[in-house]
């Protein structure tokens, strides 16, 4: 996600706050410049926009797209298995989902080890009661051709996810329903408001070193591209967090 992600890490929250502050500061600065100096429209461009290196953005966008293509190619077999379950994304009763606790429904039984926090990665589709998809590993819900990411559960997820995959085996596909108190409750807007239940279709795959590395490289390429769009340098921000 796309509303991106299931739960942000402390580092990701810092990054989001930094971007928000920079954007707010640039807007205020631009407005003040207009009021005080009465400059023409060309002077009202925000400092964030003026700092954007368009050539760098294009370069990093291409690097990200190349990494997506590499990830998609490496996970093609998993994609061919998972994409069949896209049709399971259907509208559901919001009130019933909130009252029924965590509900687990195996769509495909796995044959590997039982999942634990550190032995699997997940491909997923997260959707709302009205069938709206708020996040997904697929590159498109209309005409998917591959994956753009896997989810690493070791980063920490909402409580309902952990309860939902309990007992699931590697290689399996499961639908889980999570009531609002085990999702985001009143702390975060999702699916058009707060206190919303969520549903996920999840495929658990082995946590191989090569897949973890590729997924991490893909995430970094995406962040580099996003930072550049805001006139920020990824290495500078990452260095400040250390």
What's residue 239's pLDDT?
73
For 181, residues 6+ apart whose C-beta sits below 8 A from its C-beta are: none
- Secondary structure (3-state) at 112: coil
Name the DSSP class of 147: B
The Cα 224–Cα 53 span in angstroms is: 13
Closest CA to 145 of 83, 210, 188, 224: 83
Q: How far is C-alpha 59 from the chain's CA centre?
A: 22
What's residue 241's pLDDT?
66
CA atoms within a 13 Å half-sphere pointing along the CA-CB vector of 61: 8
Tokens of 172: 């399996």
The Cα 108–Cα 233 span in angstroms is: 43
Q: Looking at the DSSP assignment, which residues form a beta bridge with residue 174?
A: 106, 202
Closest CA to 151 of 198, 105, 216, 90: 216
Contacts 24+ apart (CB under 8 A), 59-65: 60/221, 60/224, 60/225, 60/228, 61/225, 63/221, 63/224, 63/225, 64/218, 64/221, 64/222, 64/224, 64/225
CA dihedral sign, ordered 83, 159, 151, 240: positive
What's residue 20's pLDDT?
44
Looking up tokens 């995406």, which residue turns up?
222
What's residue 144's pLDDT?
97
Rg, the chain, Cα only: 20
Top-tier CATH class for 76-209: alpha beta
Question: What is the enclosing helix (H) or strand (E) of 18?
Answer: helix 10-37
- Secondary structure (3-state) at 23: helix
CA atoms within a 13 Å half-sphere pointing along the CA-CB vector of 203: 23
Q: Where are the domains of the chain?
A: 8-51, 76-209
Strand order in the sheet with 198-206: 103-108, 173-178, 198-206, 120-127, 133-136
pLDDT in tens, the chain (242 residues): 444 345 444 444 444 444 444 443 443 333 333 233 333 433 434 444 558 899 999 999 999 999 999 999 999 999 999 999 999 999 999 999 999 999 999 999 999 999 998 899 999 999 999 999 999 999 999 999 999 999 999 888 999 999 999 999 999 999 999 999 999 999 999 999 999 999 999 999 999 999 999 999 999 999 999 999 999 999 888 776 66
CA dihedral sign, ordered 191, 76, 8, 112: positive
């Amino acid at each position: 996600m796309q509303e991106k992600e299931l739960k942000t890490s402390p580092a990701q929250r810092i990054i989001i706050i930094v971007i928000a502050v920079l954007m707010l500061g640039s807007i205020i600065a631009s407005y003040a410049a207009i009021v005080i100096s009465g400059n023409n429209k060309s002077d009202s461009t925000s400092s964030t926009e003026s700092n954007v290196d368009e050539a760098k953005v294009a370069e990093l966008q291409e690097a990200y797209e190349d990494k997506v293509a590499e990830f998609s190619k490496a996970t093609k077999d998993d994609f061919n298995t998972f994409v069949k379950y896209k049709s399971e994304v259907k509208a559901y009763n919001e009130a019933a989902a909130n009252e029924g606790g965590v509900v687990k429904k195996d769509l495909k039984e796995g044959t590997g080890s039982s999942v634990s926090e550190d032995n699997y990665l997940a491909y997923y589709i997260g959707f709302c009661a009205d069938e709206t998809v708020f996040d997904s590993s697929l590159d498109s819900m209309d005409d998917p051709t591959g994956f753009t990411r896997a989810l690493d559960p070791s980063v920490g997820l909402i409580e309902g996810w952990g309860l939902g995959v309990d007992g699931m085996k590697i290689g399996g596909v499961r639908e889980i329903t999570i009531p609002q108190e085990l999702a985001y409750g009143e702390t975060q807007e999702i699916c058009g408001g707060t206190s919303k239940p969520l549903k996920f279709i999840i495929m658990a795959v082995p946590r191989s070193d090569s897949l973890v590395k590729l997924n991490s490289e893909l995430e970094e390429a995406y962040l580099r591209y996003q930072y550049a769009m805001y006139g920020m340098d990824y290495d500078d921000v990452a260095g400040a967090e250390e």
